[in-house]
Each structure stands twice: as C-alpha cells, then as structure tokens.
Structure 1
Amino acid sequence: MFSLAGRVALVTGAGRGMGFGVAQALAEQGAALVVNDIDAGRAREAAGELSARGHRALGLACDVTDRAAIDRMLMLVEEGLGPVDILVNNAGLPAGWQADNLKFAQSRPEHWQRYVELNLYGVMQMTQAVLPGMIARGHGRVVIVSSESWRMGTDMGLAAYAASKAGAIGFMRQLAAETGRQGVTVNAVSLGTMNNWEGSEALAARINPVPRAGSPRDVGAACAYLASDEASWVTGQLLPLNGGSLMA
C-alpha cells in the first residue's frame, strides 16, 4: 500500500527539517523527488543524500514567490524527471524569521507581507504552475503543510504567520472543490509542537497526550498517505499532527 512508484514529487523548502522529512518519506515510497529550497547548497546536498540512498532526486533552488523562477525550475524538472504529479507546499518561514516574533501592536505591513507572500502567494503560484498538467493527465496530489497556530491563539507573536497559514487553508478547500472531479486532490496537514527548536520536547511532554514533539518522519508519513492512491477519496481535508494537544 501507499506506493508512489512512477510518480514525480516536488517538495518546497525541502533542504532541511520537516521538508526533508517529507522528501525522504515520498522517496522511500518510490517517488522521484524534486528537492526545492531557496538555498541552492541545501537543495543539492539534500538531493545528494537521497541519491546516495538509491533514490532518484534532483535538487533545485527557487524562490517560490517568483513565478518566473518557478517556471524555469519546472522546465528543468520536466527535462530531468518528468511532469510533477505530487506537490507538497512546505516552505513557510522567510529568511530572518527568527527576529519576526512581534506582537501585533508592534508589527508593520512589511512584516506581514513577508509571510503572506510566502505562505499564501507562494502556495498559490506553485500550485497554479503545476495544476494544468495534473488536470490534463487526470491525476494530481497537492498537500499544504500548515500550522496549528492558525487554529489556536498564543502570545508568541505569531499573528502574521498564523494569518498567512489560515489563508492557505481557505485556498486549499476552495481548490479541492474545483478539482476533485478532474482527479486532483488537495489537502493539508497542520503541525503542532515540532522538534525543530530548543525547548520543544519539554513543552510537548507537558501539554501533549502523546508526550513528545513531532518529527520530520511524522510529517513525511502523513504526506505520503495523502499523496498515495489510497487517499484518492480524501480531498479538502485538514489532518492535524499535534500529539493530541488540540482535539477540536
């Protein structure tokens, strides 16, 4: 079950972290992988690691907020691996995001713009670039990696990030309604406390019924399922990955 043999998958922001976990899981299920990252070195290194494990992989740098760059990347993908069957919109943190944890009252429009451009327009542009081919072939999978911050308020200064992620969820549901009869499913995973920052394990152990933080493997497994033929009757859905911290 859940074989992706013969499919080409593109994962944005896959040079490290959760994105690489997704790329690794899809490759292990048989997909050929396009490892996209804004950093060319990270993209090449991650693709090289997959290739060394016997997988077909291509590492390509591209800013997903730049439609011309997206189109150039997809030309290379078609030449090297073929058309994209599976798109995982994972890229979600702009450069310098560590300094962006501003409470709303201190934030400015340019601060919000960085997140909206990446998490909403970036998702829209990547999806719009691959969608016509999916529709023409009668098969496609689009997965958006979101965050539980859009469902649950905190005092961590995440308003811009959470709002941009919420916008992508609304887009996901509308697109799913438009494309289901054409063989294209569109879904999202929503991540709780993940093991990519100091203190995450201690926090997760305190608040989660499953007392640990999430890992790249957790995200990859969920995306592999949603990308598979076994999930062909699943569209327009949000799958929370949060260790039980939010059950609504």
Structure 2
Amino acid sequence: MFQLDGRVALVTGSGQGMGLGVVRALCQQGARVVINDYYPERAEAAVAALQADGFTVCAAPGDITLAAVREQLVATARSAFGEIDILVNNAGVPPGMPNSLRPFKDLGDEDFERQLDLNLRAILGLTRHVVGGMCERGFGRIVIITSESWRLGMPMGLSNYAAAKSAALGFMRHLAHEVGRSGVNANAVSLGAMNNFGYDEIAKRTTAVGRAGTPEDVGAAVAYLVSNEASWMSGQVLPLNGGSCTA
C-alpha cells in the first residue's frame, strides 16, 4: 500500500525539518522528488544525503514568493523527472520567524504581506502551474502543510501567520471540488507542537501521547494523502497534533 513508484513530487521548504521528513517518506515509497529550499546550501545538503541512501532527488532552491522562481522551479522539476504528480506546499516560515512574533496591534502591513506571500500567494502560484496537467493526466495530489494556529487562538503573536494559513485552507477546499472528478485531490495536514522551535517540553504537557511531533510523523501522513489509497480523501484538514486538540 501507499506505493508511489513512477510519481514525481515537488516539496517546498524541504531542505530540513518537517519538509525533509516528507521528502524522505515519499522517496521511501518510490517517488522521485524535487527539493526546494530558500537556502541553496540546505537543498544541496539534503540532496547529497538522500542520494547517498539511493534515492532519486534533485535540488531546486529559491524564494517561492517570487513568480519567476516558481516558474523556474516547475521547469526544473519537469526537466529532471517529468510532469509533477504531487505538490506538497510545505514552506511556511519566512526568514526571521519565530523571532519576529508580535501582537496584532504592533504589526504593520509588511508583516501581513510577507505571510500572505509565502503562505497563500506562493501556494496559489505553484498550484496554477501544475493543476491543469494533473487534471489532463487524471491524477494529482496537492497537500498544504499548515499548523493548528488556524484552528486555535493563542496569545503568541501569530495573527498574521494564522490569517494566511486560514486563507490557504479556504482555497484548498474549493479547489478540491473543482478538480476532484479529474482524479486530483487537495488536502492539508495541520501540525501541532513539533520538535523544532523548542516545543518539546510544551508537547510533553499538552498532548495526549506526551511528545512532540517529528519529521517522520509528518512524512507518514503526507505519504498517505498523496497515495492511490487516498483517492476518496479530498478537501480535508488532517489534524496531526498528538491529541493536543481532539474536538
């Protein structure tokens, strides 16, 4: 089950952390994967490590908030492996975050724009590049990695981040209805406290399972959503939070 032999995947923001966990999981299931990261050295290091393990990957670094970079990214993927079957929109943390978190009253327009650029406009732009071909070929999987901040209000200075994430989820639900009968699914994975940004101790206290999430946890969830077996799963937000929110 969940085999991805012959599939081509593009995963944004995947040079490290949760994105790299997604890449590794997809590779383990047989996919060929394009690794995008804002920092070229991270993308290249990830490619070297995965190639050493025998996986088929390539690097396509760049800032996906730029339209020209998105176009080049898709072109690189097609040149390397062929048409894109799987798009995982994982990139979501702009440079400087989380150190730049501030209450809404202290935020300016630019603070919202940079979140919208990465967590909404980049997703719209990349999806536009690939979804037509997916529909023509009769198969496609689009996944958005979001966080539980869209669902749960928190006094952490995340209003601009959560607003952009919520907008992307609204887009995903409508897209699912537009393309579902063409064999294309659109879903999201909503992450709770992960083992980055120092959330391990918080997760021990607040989750049902008593630990933070890992890149492997995220990779497993995405591997299901992009598989043939997920053909009846579309327009959904899959909570992956260790039981911190069970409503």
- TM-score interval (norm. to shorter): over 0.9
Amino acid at match of 1:160: N
CA drift of 1:71 comes to 1.4
Residue 242 of structure 1: aligned partner: 241
CA drift of 1:98 comes to 3.0
- Gap runs ≥5 in structure 2: none
- For the 8 Å contact 1:116–1:164, the answer to whether it is kept is yes
- For the 8 Å contact 1:35–1:43, the answer to whether it is kept is yes
Residue 228 of structure 1: aligned partner: 227
Q: Deviations over 1:136-187 (max 9, x none)?
A: 1111000000000010011111000111111111010000010001110000
- For the 8 Å contact 1:143–1:187, the answer to whether it is kept is yes
CA drift of 1:62 comes to 2.2
Structure 1's consecutive aligned runs of 4 or more residues displaced over 6 angstroms after TM superposition are none
Q: Aligned pair count?
A: 247
Residue 23 of structure 2: aligned partner: 23
Alignment of 1:1-248 (within 5 A): 1-198=1-198, 200-248=199-247
- For the 8 Å contact 1:9–1:85, the answer to whether it is kept is yes
CA drift of 1:78 comes to 1.3
Q: Deviations over 1:22-60 (max 9, x none)?
A: 001000000001001111111111111111110100011
Task: Find the aligned partners of 2:170 and 2:126 in 1 and give their Cα distance.
Answer: 16
Amino acid at match of 2:81: L
SS at match of 2:36: strand
- Gap runs ≥5 in structure 1: none
TM-score after normalising by structure 1: 0.98
Task: Find the aligned partners of 1:15 and 1:80 in 2 and give their Cα distance.
Answer: 18
SS at match of 1:37: coil
User: How large is the Cα RMSD of the aligned pairs?
Assistant: 0.8
TM-score after normalising by structure 2: 0.98
Task: Find the aligned partners of 1:247 and 1:46 in 2 and give their Cα distance.
Answer: 34
Task: Find the aligned partners of 1:49 and 1:126 in 2 and give their Cα distance.
Answer: 26
Task: Find the aligned partners of 1:183 and 1:230 in 2 and give their Cα distance.
Answer: 12
- For the 8 Å contact 1:100–1:111, the answer to whether it is kept is no
Amino acid at match of 1:207: T
Amino acid at match of 1:234: M
Task: Find the aligned partners of 1:218 and 1:130 in 2 and give their Cα distance.
Answer: 26
CA drift of 1:77 comes to 1.4
- For the 8 Å contact 1:18–1:219, the answer to whether it is kept is yes
